[in-house]
């Protein structure tokens, strides 16, 4: 047994509020002739103040308030669906002692996009910001799709660009083989905003909870909370002071098990760190969160400067393409030579003893 709260949001325009209007009528329609509609209660009121974000807390959670469907009056607001035949209602589960409320999305039809959705504020997302996404969901079989567990549950981001075109991105894909139909499952993923998502002049950011066509679903406890902000600085030993400088290009090694996830940035500023013996290297753009000593000292991310204060480039005048320049330090018996900040290109002479490239 469960109780359904049907709610709709009305936004009044100027024509609806025209002082010359004689009257306004509310009607309940949709059933076939002969079907009796019993209406137990009807309320026409403003949404709860708690359903609106506070001024200072617009970006912390990309999911708006009421993600647990518990706000009074029991309304999906500010969540919505985008099609007139797709309904989003609040349902109370009478099978639990707590009487939990959740959202039910039904009548989705032949479209992936007839789903629960909401607007996220433009300007909240930044490249490489990290979000923890979590939602409880329950899939319902349809005669056309009797096994919805094979189709998964997804969180997608739609960005309307300055030219009014839409770009779509997956934020979370939950396709666990252990998902069961008719029972609650949890979709929990980490999303890092990739390059190219956030652009100047973007008009709208909309987040959509979807599954495949015809599959109706329930959803509850929606949250998309920023765990770490975009990182634009790294902390290194202060031994680099005087050797690394503003404008130099640096390499941040891969933060994953893939060898090609390195990142290259330029130094925008070098400043003192709060930790003694270290400096902060401020970068010209954000980076994905590196693996630190606190995360795992075995796989800690490393940083190296790519630019050099002194550049030595071999001449390109030898007919042999494998012959370039050669640098040798003479007459220093017994003394080791430390050369720091040197960049060499087109160096080494293959086949000439003592003239090949060596380190």
pLDDT in tens, 114-157: 899 999 999 999 998 999 999 999 998 888 887 777 788 999 99
C-alpha pair distances (Å), 120 with each of 62, 105, 154, 207: 6, 20, 17, 7
Residues 298 and 210 in one domain: no
Nearest CA-CA partner of 120 in 180, 211, 16, 193: 193
Nearest CA-CA partner of 352 in 323, 315, 317: 323
8 Å CB contact between 108 and 141: no
Whole-number pLDDT of residue 358? 55
Average pLDDT, the chain: 86
Mean pLDDT value across residues 175-193? 84
Per cent of the chain over pLDDT 70 is: 93
Per cent of the chain over pLDDT 90 is: 36
**Biggest alpha carbon–alpha carbon distance for the chain:** 108
Residues 156 and 91 in one domain: yes
In angstroms, what is the C-alpha Rg of the chain? 30
Residues 179 and 286 in one domain: no
Which of 176, 200, 228 is the C-terminal boundary of a domain? 228
Residues 255 and 333 in one domain: no
Residues 169 and 140 in one domain: yes
Whole-number pLDDT of residue 98? 64
**What CATH number does the domain containing 261 carry?**
2.40.30
Residues 14 and 86 in one domain: yes
Which of 179, 201, 228 is the C-terminal boundary of a domain? 228
Residues 139 and 31 in one domain: yes
8 Å CB contact between 168 and 235: no
The helix, strand and coil proportions of the chain, stated in percent and rounded to the nearest 5, come to 5, 35, 60
Intra-chain end-to-end CA distance of the chain, in Å: 76
Mean pLDDT value across residues 293-322? 85
C-alpha pair distances (Å), 130 with each of 156, 262, 288: 15, 18, 8
Q: Which residue shows structure tokens 């480039």? A: 313
pLDDT in tens, 322-350: 888 888 887 788 777 777 777 888 888 88
Cis-peptide into 78, omega within 30 deg: yes
Q: Of residues 239 and 177, which shows the higher confidence score?
A: 239
pLDDT in tens, 103-116: 999 888 887 778 99
Domain, as residue range, for 358:
309-359
Whole-number pLDDT of residue 344? 83
Dist CA 185 CA 169 (whole Å): 23
Mean pLDDT value across residues 33-59? 81
Dihedral over alpha carbons 111, 112, 117, 123 (to 10 degrees) = -120
Mean pLDDT value across residues 41-65? 85
Give the model's confidence band at 356: pLDDT under 50 very low, under 70 low, under 90 confident, else very high.
Answer: low
8 Å CB contact between 88 and 123: no
CB-facing half-sphere around the CA of 17: CA atoms within 13 A: 5
Q: Please tell me whether the overall predicted TM-score, pTM, comes out greater than 0.85 for this model.
A: no
8 Å CB contact between 283 and 230: no
**Cβ-based neighbours of 291, under 8 Å, separated by 6 or more:** 255, 299, 300, 301
Residues 199 and 332 in one domain: no
Dist CA 151 CA 88 (whole Å): 21
Residue 5 has pLDDT above 70, yes or no: no
Which of 265, 280, 305 is the C-terminal boundary of a domain? 305
Q: How many domains is the chain built from?
A: 3
Residues 208 and 315 in one domain: no
Residue 1 has pLDDT above 50, yes or no: no
**What CATH number does the domain containing 203 carry?**
2.60.120.260
Residues 60 and 111 in one domain: yes
Residues 220 and 237 in one domain: no
8 Å CB contact between 212 and 138: no
Residue 37 has pLDDT above 80, yes or no: no
Give the model's confidence band at 199: pLDDT under 50 very low, under 70 low, under 90 confident, else very high.
Answer: very high
Residues 251 and 214 in one domain: no
Residue 347, beta-bridge partner list: 325
Dist CA 323 CA 337 (whole Å): 24
């Amino acid at each position: 047994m469960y109780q359904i709260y049907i709610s709709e949001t009305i936004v009044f325009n100027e024509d609806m509020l025209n002082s010359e209007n004689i009257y306004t009528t509310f009607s309940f329609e949709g059933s076939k002739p002969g079907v009796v509609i019993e209406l137990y209660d009807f309320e026409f009121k403003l949404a709860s103040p708690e359903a609106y974000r506070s001024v200072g807390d617009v970006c912390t959670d990309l999911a708006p308030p009421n993600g647990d469907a518990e706000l009074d009056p029991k309304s999906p607001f500010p969540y919505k669906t985008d099609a007139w035949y797709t309904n989003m209602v609040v349902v109370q589960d009478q099978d639990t002692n707590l009487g939990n409320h959740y959202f039910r999305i039904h009548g989705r039809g032949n479209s992936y996009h007839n789903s629960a959705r909401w607007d996220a504020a433009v300007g909240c997302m930044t490249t490489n910001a990290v979000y923890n996404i979590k939602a409880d969901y329950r899939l319902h079989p349809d005669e056309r799709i009797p096994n919805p567990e094979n189709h998964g549950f997804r969180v997608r981001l739609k960005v309307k660009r300055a030219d009014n075109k839409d770009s779509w991105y997956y934020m979370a894909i939950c396709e666990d083989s252990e998902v069961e139909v008719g029972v609650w499952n949890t979709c929990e993923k980490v999303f890092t905003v990739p390059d190219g998502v956030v652009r100047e002049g973007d008009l709208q950011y909309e987040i959509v909870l979807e599954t495949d066509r015809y599959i109706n679903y329930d959803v509850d406890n929606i949250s998309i909370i920023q765990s770490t902000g975009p990182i634009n600085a790294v902390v290194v030993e202060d031994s680099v002071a005087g050797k690394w400088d503003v404008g130099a290009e640096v390499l941040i090694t891969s933060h994953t098990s893939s060898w090609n996830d390195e990142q290259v940035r330029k130094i925008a500023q070098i400043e003192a760190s709060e930790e003694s013996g270290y400096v902060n290297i401020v970068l010209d753009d954000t980076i994905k969160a590196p693996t630190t000593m606190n995360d795992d000292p075995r796989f800690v991310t490393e940083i190296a400067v790519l630019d050099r204060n002194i550049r030595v480039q071999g001449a390109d005048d030898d007919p042999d393409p494998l012959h370039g320049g050669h640098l040798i330090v003479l007459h220093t018996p017994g003394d080791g030579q430390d050369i720091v900040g040197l960049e060499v290109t087109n160096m080494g002479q293959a086949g000439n003893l003592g003239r090949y490239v060596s380190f």
